[in-house]
Structure 1
Amino acid sequence: MPLSVDSAVAKTGEDLVHTLKDIFHPPPGFRPVHAKGILLTGSFVPTPSASLLSVAPHFTLPSVPILARFSSSTGIPALPDSDPNGNPRGLALRFHLPDTNGRRAHTDIIAHSVDAFPGKDGAEALAFFTAVREGKVPEFLGAPENENARTFVFAPKPTPRGLETETYFAVNAFVLVGKDGKKTNVRYRVVPDKGVSVLTDEEAKGKGPDFLYEGLKETVGKGPVSFKLVVQVGEEGDVTSDNTKKWPEERKTVELGTVTLDEVVEDDPVAAAKKVIFDPIPRVDGVEPSDDPLLEVRAHAYLVSGRERRAA
């Protein structure tokens, strides 16, 4: 996972990290956003359809190990689960792949529980978070050119009944590459097998400060939780270079496999979370980044943040 060699991308990514730190003042060693979280392990079993779309190992092998991290928005590790600022919730999935040239290999999918993002690129996202830092969100949202931020802010973000009863959407589009070299534009969704279940505002207010995370531990203690990894398949004319341009809901969807999570990481979970750096760019044969410029900015920001976190 290299840093970007593009100076403009690098500056925007670094500015994003430090702007978010200015907003939330996370303790040393914690993420500037999605600081509160929980790690679990499990497995991914692909469907036959997955191998028709992609030659990636996690889509062609019988199964691969998974590391998952659920999280709450903001850089406040002690944020109560009942606080609406914890929405959208996050889910990052790491697929552990066979070693290549003696090195550990993996690829990640990073998603959150709203199908929206405050900017089409790094510059727009940075402008939004700068407004948050400066306490100028109302003025920012009132400007006609900031439609993407308005869409994100006002999109419904109810508190889930459980972290395992929420659908998570990857922000960017990706490209699956099949055996014949055929490329398919897709957007990932991680859909709960339990079905989506959310709380009313009043129900959420009555919950304890850690009800989502303690509830997930209790649930997994009784048996695994599972999700379907699904892709929405793009058609000609569907935009891949701008995450805010959503594809029609009637687009075909394909189930790629089942994510099963059966164990909470209990061995020094804070240190484990501090160490892992998820990567928005796939970096694996069979899955390519789309032409969305936000991907490079996000990847640079994640690595800068991760290195600072590890050094703390």
Structure 2
Amino acid sequence: MTQTPFTPRQLITRLAVIALVPLLLIVLFLWGGGWLSPQRLTSDKLVDVLQQAGGEHPGFRRNHAKGICVIGRFISNGNASALSRASVFAAGETPVTGRFAIAGGNPSAPDYAVPVRSMALAFQLANGEQWRTGMNAMPFFPVSTVEQFYELQVASLPDPATGKPNAEKFKAFVQKNPEVMPFLAWAKQNVPSSSWASDRFNSLNAFRFIDKSGASHLVRWSMVPHTAWQPIGAAQKNDNDFLQKDIQQRLAQGPLQWDLLITVAGKGDDGSRASQVWPADRQTINAGTLELSQAIAQQQGPCNDINYDPLILPDGIAASDDPLLNARSAAYSKSYNARTREQAAQTGAH
């Protein structure tokens, strides 16, 4: 069948529509990066404010910069396989590459001065999938939204004139965001432990376990230590690197263990607010034991090149609707790309 040729007007209209598609893609890309809305919060702004707080330290993470690599295995007992079809929960062993760290962007910060500690783990599943998780040794997150977290970082920045946070700015933030009060109360009374080995590390964010039938279960998880808790001592308060020295000494004597406890949400529990604690009577499942056997300095260790993005998940684990998860993932990516470029430049310079 012979096609009717386009009139000049029709041809111009069609070409305009064709040109509009890539233009829309460009606009969406620019908007997504924050270029068309400078006031919009972006991962660049999050990383920048973290760097302002910790200072510029090329080649290091923008947060949790000071840490040490650890190697071990996860020994699953099969108990969580009813909740999640992820192969990591089938009975058996999974290799793990992890990292202990303290919060903040200064890789030379004294261990005793930082109240928040972290454990990050990458599980290498037999089917080639990975499960990466970053947990913190605190019971809940200070705030629930990305905007609040950013404003908290800005309010906590040191005043150039004094080297300390501006008390009035921080007070204004607290008045605007009373949700942070429980965390400040916890931080005030919290006594740090003497070792990473005795810390309990919590996912804080909620996730969804997907079982073999496709049903979804809202959960959080924790690594609960086998090592007895002891408070930080006077000698450790005079040693800038006591956490790293301690973990190396302990692992030289034998493996360290934590139980992976899965907490299942009850009716009405909110998975979108990491600042809210679920009731203590919620169902918990012991999914198995994490066993760490070796510690290696991070700059030469296997954890150095791992981005512990919390959204790298295997089939059977999915993100919840917690807005902090996407923000963490984007900020981790920005930080990872920046530090790997810096490390490459440093290597080339030598």
TM-score when normalising by structure 2: 0.80
Aligned to 2:283: 252
How far apart in 2 are the matches of 1:11 and 1:129?
13
> Which structure would you say has the larger Rg?
2
Residue 281 (structure 1) shift: 1.4
Which of 183, 196, 205 aligns to 1:172? It is 205
Match of 1:289 among 319, 324, 329: 319
Equivalent-residue separation in structure 2 for 1:107 and 1:139 (angstroms): 39
Which letter does structure 2 place at the counterpart of 1:301? A
2:119 match: 91
Q: Does 1:49 align with 2:73?
A: no
**Contact persistence 1:193–1:228 (CA under 8 A):** yes
CA shift for structure 1 position 209 = 1.7
CA distance in 1: counterparts of 2:235 and 2:32, whole angstroms: 47
One-letter amino acid matched to 2:122: R
Where do residues 1-312 of structure 1 align in structure 2 (5 Å cutoff)? 7=32, 11-60=41-90, 62-83=92-113, 86-100=114-128, 105-133=129-157, 135-136=165-166, 138-142=168-172, 143-156=174-187, 157-199=190-232, 202=234, 204-205=236-237, 207-265=238-296, 269-270=299-300, 272-312=302-342
SS for the counterpart of 1:144 is: helix
Could you tell me how far apart the structure 1 residues matched to 2:205 and 2:235 are?
A: 32
> 1:203 and 1:237, CA in 2 relative to 1: closer, same or farther beyond 3 A?
farther
* Matched residue type, 2:263: Q
Residues 195-245 of structure 1: per-residue CA shift (max 9 Å, x gap) = 333326x5653x422111111101101100010111111011000111112
* % identical aligned pairs: 27
Which one-letter code corresponds to 2:254 in the other structure?
G
Answer whether contact 1:191 1:228 (CA < 8 A) is retained.
yes
Distance 1:90 1:290 in 2: 21
Q: Measure the CA separation in 2 of the matches of 1:284 and 1:212.
A: 31
Determine the C-alpha separation between the residues in 2 that align with 1:195 and 1:232: 22
Deviation track 1:28-48 (CA, whole Å, cap 9, x = no partner) reads: 011122111010110001122
Count of paired positions: 300
Q: Is the 8 A contact 1:70 1:90 kept in 2?
A: yes
CA offsets per residue over residues 273-298 of structure 1, 9 Å max, x none?
A: 44211111143110011111111011
TM-score of the superposed pair, with normalisation by structure 1 = 0.89
- Shift of the 131–8 alpha-carbon distance from structure 1 to 2, 3 Å rule, reads farther
| 1:73 Cα deviation from its structure 2 partner | 1.4
Counterpart of 2:282, as a letter, is: R
SS at match of 1:155: helix
2:58 aligns to what SS in structure 1? coil
Return 5+ residue gaps in structure 1 as ranges.
Answer: none
Q: 1:271 to 1:63 in 2, by over 3 A?
A: closer
Higher relative contact order (CA 8 A, sep 6+): 1
- Superposition RMSD on alpha carbons, in Å? 2.3
d(CA) in 1 for partners of 2:127, 2:266: 34
Contact 1:44–1:66 (CA<8 Å) still a contact in 2?
A: yes
- Residues 1:66 and 1:289: Cα distance change in structure 2 (over 3 Å): same
